[in-house]
Amino acid sequence: MKLKNLRFEKLYTPYFPTQYCTGGELFDYIVKKDRLPEPEARHFFRQIIAAVAFTHHKGYAHRDLKPENLLLTTELQLKLIDFGLCANPVKNKFLETCCGSPAYAAPELIAGNAYCGNEADIWSMGVLLYALLCGFLPFEDECLPKMYQKIQRSFYVCLIRLLFPLQELLVVIV
């Protein structure tokens, strides 16, 4: 990637040049296609796993995983963005800040309990996988308290026929 005519307008404000992702947000891609076929969902989910595993390996929890924070290149490669809620917890210490997007939040966050950031990210990845495969969220509800109840009970209905390994994966993660 070449940078030309890069100007810094404000002194002491960090700027991070990134790759231009012409494919837009994964959210818009899912909406446009209604839902993704399993091979395509698998293609994207593998990339999500790799990005989150790298983030965790570096000692961070993303804490705001959702399709709006995954951008697509023209080659349909995903780029994880928006590390504004990222946390670098000290080993064996739990996080306490409730943050992220409610529909993707793990039950322990909603309950207001201390939580492991990496485990909360894995929960969010399960919600992402469901959204890729079904085209909608597993715990949707117009009433936020009702949605929180569904999340805390892990109550969702999969209206799409999925191969058994995918069904099993969703049950384990979400």
Residue 5: per-residue pLDDT = 52
- Would you name the residues annotated as active-site residues? 64
Higher pLDDT, 136 or 173: 136
Quickly state the pLDDT bin for 10 (edges 50, 70, 90). low
The 8-class DSSP code of residue 46 comes to H
pTM: 0.84
What digits encode the pLDDT tens for the residues 17-58?
A: 777 889 999 999 999 999 999 999 999 999 999 999 999 999
Report the pLDDT value the prediction gives residue 102, as an integer from 0 to 100.
95
Give the domain 24-173 fold. Transferase(Phosphotransferase); domain 1 (1.10.510)
Chain centre to alpha carbon of residue 32: 19
Q: What is the pLDDT of residue 153?
A: 92
For 140-172, the pLDDT digits (tens) are 899 999 999 999 998 877 766 766 677 777 766
Angle, to 10 degrees, between the axis of helix 38-57 and the axis of helix 117-134? 170
In the chain, where are the structural domains located? 24-173
DSSP code at position 24: E
CA–CA dist 68, 21 (Å, integer): 13
End-to-end Cα distance, the chain: 38
Task: Please name every residue paired with 115 in a beta bridge, in sequence order, or none if there are none.
Answer: 95
Nearest to 27 by CA among 104, 93, 118, 107: 104
The pLDDT of residue 1 is above 50: no
Q: Residues 55-113: pLDDT tens digits?
A: 999 999 999 999 999 999 999 999 999 999 999 987 778 999 999 999 999 999 999 99
Nearest to 138 by CA among 118, 124, 117: 124
Q: Quick one: how far is CA 10 from the chain centroid?
A: 31
